[in-house]
Amino acid sequence: MSAQFPVARPRRLRRTSALRRMVAETRLAPADLVLPMFVKEGIADPQPVASMPGVFQHTRDSLRKAAHEAAEAGVGGIILFGIPAVKDGTGSAADDPDGIVQRTLRDLASDLGDSTVIMTDLCLDEYTDHGHCGVLTGAGEIDNDATLERYASIALAQAEAGAAVLGPSGMMDGQVGAIRAALDGAGHSDVAILAYSVKYASAYYGPFRDAAECAPQFGDRASHQQDPANAGESLREVLLDLDEGADMVMVKPAGAYLDIVRRVRDAVDVPVAAYQVSGEYAMIEAAAEKGWIDRERTIMESLLSIRRAGADIALTYWATEAARLLRRA
Ligand code: PBG
């Protein structure tokens, strides 16, 4: 062994922060981040979500303010979830032109202009009294094709109120095609679809069901959301959605499914999003609160990892804070 050994020294490029920055293979920017936001009808003040410290069910006014802050921090977009005052069997508040999301969309369209992308989650679970993502048959099962008609109608209500991108998240077969046809038939061919193509039946959604008040009153979502055991099925879902007219595709959750993000990234040439869900948020916040991890470093590492796995866009409840940290760095 010569005195020179080792000749190859990867550590040379890790020596200073300037070197590390120059050779970084993955970059995270505010525009890569999308902020999910909750707006609740009929409340006077924003309500904190207990299992998601720092996240609120907003009033229309407090949402406007928070959306403005997000846009100012440079986030790529925001995605709205609505919690109506009254729920019923068919989720009629979801496509009411005066429903909470539609009103909020109209507020935001005038406030935000082109400073960030305004998106909506398109599903029924926040609007139905039974908490399922669709309408039910007499036997209490989700009626896939009747649900598609509801989704088409919600798509029109959201598009008419000013949403630029719709995110169907109910995992009904044919949902992207039904929404695309409805939009195109009503002169909304410019409204884009971010399909929740790959959505697992995940325990990581727990805190969200508090935030959106949408826990199913009976049963679960395993008949339509994917089995965490499956990977190949995800590619089939993605290809079907692209065939039906999806403009972008999403994988959800993110952190426990980074292998799926990579497989999807390698298979398609449309933008890929990944949703860092409520449970991922809650775990990091809880561990940080106990002083067991460095909160900011863990947040930024989790987001960088989503980008490194191949996602162009990360949906994260930390979007505004992370965008500010990135601007400071
Ligand atoms: C359905 C929807 C859910 C989430 C986003 N859209 C809940 C579900 O499928 O049960 C979860 C998001 C999160 O956990 O952060 N409208």
What does DSSP say about strands 56-58 and 47-48: parallel, antiparallel, or unpaired? antiparallel
Residue 3 lies in a domain: no
CA-204 nearest atom, ligand 1: 14
Quick one: 147 exposed, middle or buried, by C-beta within 10 A (0-12, 13-18, 19+)? buried
When pLDDT is cut at 50, 70 and 90, the band that residue 4 belongs to is: confident
Task: For 106-151, write each residue's pLDDT tens digit.
Answer: 999 989 999 999 999 999 999 999 999 999 999 999 999 999 999 9
Is the residue at 6 inside a domain?
no
Domain boundaries, position 204: 28-328
* Nearest ligand 1 atom, CA 206: 14
With a 6 A CB cut-off, is 125 part of the ligand 1 pocket? yes
Residue 47 predicted with pLDDT over 90: yes
Q: Does the beta carbon of 121 sit less than 6 angstroms from any atom of ligand 1?
A: yes
d(CA 53, CA 55): 6
For the segment 229-281, what is each residue's pLDDT rounded down to a tens digit? 999 999 999 999 999 999 999 999 999 999 999 999 999 999 999 999 999 99
Nearest ligand 1 atom to the CA of 317 is 15
pLDDT of residue 329: 80
8 belongs to a structural domain: no
Residue 2 has a pLDDT of: 63
- For ligand 1, the distance from its centroid to the CA atom of residue 104, given in whole angstroms, is 20
- If you average pLDDT over every residue of the chain, what do you get? 96
Domain assignment present for residue 106? The answer is yes
**Ligand 1 pocket check for 277: Cβ under 6 Å:** yes
Residue nearest to atom 10 of ligand 1 (CA): 205
| Centroid of ligand 1 to alpha carbon of 76 (angstroms) | 20
Q: Which atom of ligand 1 is least distant from the CA of 279?
A: 14
Query: Is residue 2 situated within a structural domain?
Result: no
**How much of the chain, in percent, has pLDDT values that exceed 70?**
99
Over 80: is that where the pLDDT of 200 sits? Answer: yes
Q: What is the pLDDT of residue 210?
A: 86
Q: Dig out the tokens for 232 from the structure.
A: 């190949």
Region 195-207: what's the mean pLDDT? 96
Which residue's CA is minimally distant from atom 16 of ligand 1? 123
- Ligand 1 near 276 CB (within 6 A): no
- pLDDT for 64 equals 98
Comparing 54-68, 203-217, 249-263, the range with the smallest average pLDDT is 203-217
> How many domains, in total, are found in the chain?
1
Q: pTM to 2 decimals?
A: 0.97
For residue 160, is it within any domain?
A: yes
The CATH number assigned to the domain holding 193 equals 3.20.20.70
Rounded distance, CA 227 to CA 233, Å?
A: 9
Give the residue, by CA position, lying nearest to ligand 1 atom 6. Answer: 169
The string of DSSP codes covering 64-75 is: HHHHHHHHHHT-
Residue to mutate (ligand 1; options 130, 205, 214, 276; most atoms within 8 A of CB):
205
Could you tell me the distance, in angstroms and rounded to a whole number, from the CA of residue 35 to the centre of ligand 1?
Answer: 14
Mean local confidence (pLDDT), 48-59: 97
Å from CA of 278 to ligand 1 middle:
8
Q: What is the pLDDT of residue 124?
A: 97
Q: Is residue 52 very low, low, confident or very high in pLDDT (cuts 50, 70, 90)?
A: very high
Q: Tell the residue nearest (CA) to atom 1 of ligand 1.
A: 169
User: What is the set of active-site residues?
Assistant: 199, 252
Where is 208: in which H helix or E strand? helix 206-211
In a domain, 224, yes or no: yes
CB 181, CB 208: distance < 8 Å: no
Question: For residue 226, what pLDDT is reported?
Answer: 94
